[in-house]
Structure 1
Amino acid sequence: MSVLIIIFLTAVAALFAGVFEKGKFSRYIGILGLLIALYVSFLPECSFFSQYKAMFEFGPNAALFTKISILVTLLLFFLGSFAFNNHRSHQSELYALILFSLSGGIILFGFQNLVTLFLGIEILSIPLYVLAGSNKTNIRSNEASIKYFLMGAFATGFLLFGIALIYGTAGSFDLYTVHQYSIANPKDLMFVAGAVLMLAALSFKVSMAPFHMWSPDVYQGSPSLITAFMMSVVKISAFFSLFRVMTIGFAGIIGEWINIIGVLIIITLFLANTMGLAQSNAKRMLAYSSVSHVGYLGLIFFGLNNLSAYNLAFYLFAYSIATVGVMSCLIWVEKLKRETSYNAFKGLAQSEPIMAVAAAVSMLSMAGIPLTAGFMGKFSIFAQAIQYPKMGTFMVLIAVLGSAISIAYYLRLIMMMFFPKESSFKTSERVPLTYNIVAVFIIVALLAMGIFPDLFAKQFGL
């Protein structure tokens, strides 16, 4: 709870920096607040907040995912000065909205009540509707905002309807009371219907096919730094909330929803990877890549054990910093070329080798190539899922096939950067120092976690 309060107050301070025409300092206010929150997240929770544990509890899993989200947000803030240099008149609002959205994500890590779940989802989502359309002169950004808002409102209706059915049957919003009811009444059709409606709503939030239809257009149309935030921090928050509500609240009816998730995973992996191959725009390709990773993450529901939350955290952290690595490169190219097609990346390695290497290592990690964090993340989830009787082996085979397909579109962009027929970079402008620092951190982190995966547990105090 203390971390949540720090992030919220930091967001307010960043917002008021703009009111007093000190918007250029809002990024530094945000970085300072995030560093303080990251430090506090390693400390024991204050006993004063235990009185709120019926609604929100900052337990070990909540602390782990909060640390990951704050660290990824911190990396994005370091990229902000260059990414938002054409938003100088309202930079403070952008940073504040990102922090408000992060506050919603932190609520989702420790919710104990379905009402708190709903509040967390909305606090996470509403700032994103504004952020997606923050590039006011870009028609694609305007389209992204309205499309995200309309589809988000539609999904919220499903979520509320599902919560209403759960409350009508279980008689409580408390997650553990719902858990007990699911065990005692696994055949209650109204309860099962409520669970399925909530699954559909949260599948929209994580962009699992066929509820992903908004994400390619929204990710492509939004400002690239906001896209990176949605593909990483928002994905972490939304997927953990899905994981938490399904494995705790609806554990007693797992037989009713596990097959539905299995079908959604197959659709997601086939559709996202096939569409990723067909793209000629790197940003849109990364959007479909983001959708495909939800399919791999979905395997966490198969063969659940005591390490499932840790495996999920490892994968999400590896995926998120890889996303930041690729998107930082894309932000730089987009600013120079005013486009994000594959051709815009031709010869990037010759002019900015550190950025190109970071993007290449990030995409190899996303593909699950050995010696990268992404490989260890996929391996741990696949090893867990294959233990699930009947469906486990089949689902892992589908996921491995999806990973193999994804290598093709990742390698296409890597080839453009490192082996072009001629370079398209003929400018003396150099990438900002902060971008190279972030790139080096990402390269080291992805390779270190791939070779020494236990480092993740040690660094996050596990």
Structure 2
Amino acid sequence: MSVLIIVFITAIVALFAGVFEQGKFSRYIGILGLIIAFYVSFLPEHSFFLQYKSMFEFGLNAALFTKIAIVILILLFFLGSFAFTNHRRHQSELYALMMFSLCGAIVMFGFQNIVTLFLGIEILSIPLYVLAGSNKNDLRSNEASVKYFLMGAFATGFLLFGIALVYGSSGSFDLYKIHEYGIAQGNNTLFIMGAILMLCALAFKTSMAPFHMWSPDVYQGSPSLITAFMMSVVKIAAFYAFFKIMTIAFTGITGDWINIVGVMIIITLFLANVMGLAQSNAKRMLAYSSVSHVGYLGLIFFGMNSLSSYNLAFYLFAYSLATVGVMMTLIWVEKLKRETSYSAFNGLGHTEPILAVTAAVSLLSMAGIPLTAGFMGKFAVFAQAIEKAPFLVLVAILGSALSIAYYLRIIMAMFFPKESSFKTAEKVTLTYNIVAVFIVVALIAIGIFPDLFAKQFGL
């Protein structure tokens, strides 16, 4: 809980820096606070906070996923000086809202009670409704905010109805007491209905089909740095919460929901990859790519073992790093070209080779090409599920092969254009190049030496 308090205080300080017209320092305040929080996450939790462990416990898994989310948010903050050039007067609010949302994510990592889960989801989501519509002069941004809010409210209704049914049948909000009830009386119809309603609500938060319909429009309409935040940090929090609630509270009735997840994985991989191929806009394609990765992640529910949490963390870290790598390139192109079509990337490899190589390595990692972190992440998840769900693994492999086609469209545009469209003297900043090099090195190093992931995060 110490990490949660540090992030919250940092968000408050960053917010008030804007009140005193020092918004340009909010980014540095945020980075400093996040670095301190990252350091504290390695320390043992203070005994004072043990009294809250029935509601929130900062255990090993919570600490691991918190570290991953903090690292990704620090990288995003480094990109903020360029990405938020159109929000000079409101930068402090944007950085503060992202950190408030991170507070919700941390709660979702450590929840021990489904009421705490609900609070975490709302703390995570409410700042996102504002962030999605922060580009006030863009109708698509306004549409993204409204659509996300309305669909989020709809999903919250499912979640609360499910919580009510689970509590009404089991008589408890505690994950482990619900787990015991599920084992003892798992044939209770209301209990099963509650679990399925909660599954649907969390499938919405992770954008798993058929509850994905909001994500392409919201991701495309939101400011690109906010899109990167939703595709990485928010995805990490949402999927881990989904994984935790289903594999702890509802293991006693796994047979009643696992097949539903299997069908959703098939629908997700088919729809996302086919729709990704049909896109002419790179940002919208990446939105469908994000949906497809939820399908791959869904295989973690099959063949559960002691390494499942670690495999999930590895995959999410590799995916999030790659997402930042692609999105930072897209942000640069969008600022210069005012668009994100594939043609906007023509010739980027000749004018900004570091940025183009970063995007290419990130896209290859997303596709699961060997020697990248994405390959090792997919291999671990697929290997876990191959015995219990070979058909789903086959579908996932075919989906990965299909995804290469739309990832290559950006790579081809950057390095093999018919005509370069970059005729600007503006160069990438030093900060951008440092972040780009870090991402490339990390994706390749972890892909070749996967044990580095465990060492760097204190496992």
Cα distance in 2 for partners of 1:234, 1:95 equals 15
1:159-218 deviations in whole A, cap 9, x for unaligned? Answer: 000000000000010111101001111111100000000000000000000100000000
Separation (CA, whole Å) in 2 of partners of 1:415 and 1:217? 25
Unaligned 5+ residue runs, structure 1? none
Q: Does 1:93 align with 2:93?
A: yes
Amino acid at match of 2:200: A
Aligned to 1:29: 29
Counterpart for residue 350 of structure 1: 350
Match of 2:152 in 1: 152
- One-letter identity of the residue aligned with 2:394: L
1:441 to 438, 441, 454: 438
Which residue is equivalent to 1:406?
Answer: 403
CA distance in 2, matches of 1:369, 1:31: 32
> How do 1:115-154 and structure 2 match up within 5 A?
115-154=115-154
Q: 2-side partners of 1:296 and 1:435: how far apart?
A: 30
Deviation at residue 432 of structure 1 after TM alignment: 1.3
Summarize deviations over 1:223-258 as a string: whole Å, max 9, x none: 000000000000000000000000000000000000
| Whole-Å separation in 2 of the counterparts to 1:433 and 1:293 | 31
CA separation in 2, counterparts of 1:114 and 1:358? 40
- Secondary structure at the aligned position of 2:45 is classed as coil
Q: How far 1:298 sits from its partner (Å)? A: 0.1
Partner of 1:167 in structure 2? 167
Distance 1:127 1:39 in 2: 25
Distance 1:20 1:54 in 2: 40
| Corresponding residue number in structure 1 for 2:448 | 451
Q: Deviations over 1:372-426 (max 9, x none)?
A: 00000000000000121xxx11010000000000000001110000000111000
Distance apart, 1:433 and its partner CA: 1.1
Name the residue aligned to 1:286: 286
AA in 1 matched with 2:185: N
Counterpart of 2:185?
Answer: 185
Q: Secondary structure of the equivalent of 2:85? A: coil
Distance 1:224 1:237 in 2: 19
Q: Which amino acid aligns with 1:100?
A: F
How far is the alpha carbon of 1:264 from its aligned partner?
A: 0.2
The sequence identity of aligned pairs, in percent, is: 80
1:47 Cα deviation after fit: 1.0
The one-letter code sitting in structure 1 at the alignment partner of 2:120 is G
Query: Which letter does structure 2 place at the counterpart of 1:450?
Result: G
- Report matched runs for 1:327-338 at 5 Å: 327-338=327-338
Aligned to 1:365: 365
CA distance in 2, matches of 1:262, 1:214: 21
One-letter amino acid of the counterpart of residue 281, structure 1: N
* Distance in 2 between residues matched to 1:103 and 1:351, nearest whole Å: 39
Query: Which residue does 2:262 correspond to in 1?
Result: 262
Other-structure match for 1:377? 377
Question: Residues of 1 paired with 2:41 and 2:85: CA distance?
Answer: 31
What residue in structure 2 maps to residue 420 of structure 1?
417
Which amino acid letter does the alignment assign opposite residue 455 of structure 2? K
- Which blocks of at least 5 consecutive residues in structure 2 are unaligned? none
1:270 shift after superposition = 0.2
Structure-2 separation of matches of 1:222 and 1:432: 23
Identify the residue that residue 395 of structure 1 maps to in structure 2.
392
The residue correspondences of 1:250-329 to structure 2 (distance < 5 A) are: 250-329=250-329
Write the letter of the residue equivalent to 2:90. Answer: H
In structure 2, C-alpha distance between the alignment counterparts of 1:331 and 1:184, rounded to whole Å: 52
Tell me by how many angstroms 1:450 deviates.
Answer: 0.5
1:132 and 1:271 map into 2 onto residues whose CA distance is 24
Q: Does residue 110 of the first structure (1) align with residue 110 of the second (2)? A: yes
- TM-score, structure 1 normalization: 0.99
The 2-side partners of 1:251 and 1:415 are apart by: 46
Deviations 1:72-115, CA, capped at 9 Å, x for gaps: 00000000000001101111000000000000000000100010
Partner amino acid for 2:444? L
Tell me the SS of whatever aligns to 1:296: helix
Alignment of 1:6-45 (within 5 A): 6-45=6-45
Question: Secondary structure of the equivalent of 1:79?
Answer: helix
Measured after TM superposition, the shift of residue 142 of structure 1 is: 0.2
Q: Distance in 2 between matches of 1:288 and 1:15?
A: 33
Asked whether 1:76 is paired with 2:73, we answer no
Distance 1:186 1:49 in 2: 33
Aligned residue for 2:43, secondary structure, equals: coil
Which amino acid in structure 2 is aligned with residue 355 of structure 1? Answer: L
Q: Deviations over 1:321-345 (max 9, x none)?
A: 0000000000000000000000000
Q: Distance between the aligned counterparts of 1:310 and 1:215, measured in 2? A: 27
In the aligned structure 1, how far is the partner of 2:182 from the partner of 2:317? 31
* Whole-angstrom CA distance in 2 between matches of 1:50 and 1:109: 16
* Displacement of 1:362: 0.2
Distance 2:390 2:309 in 1: 21
CA RMSD after TM alignment:
0.4
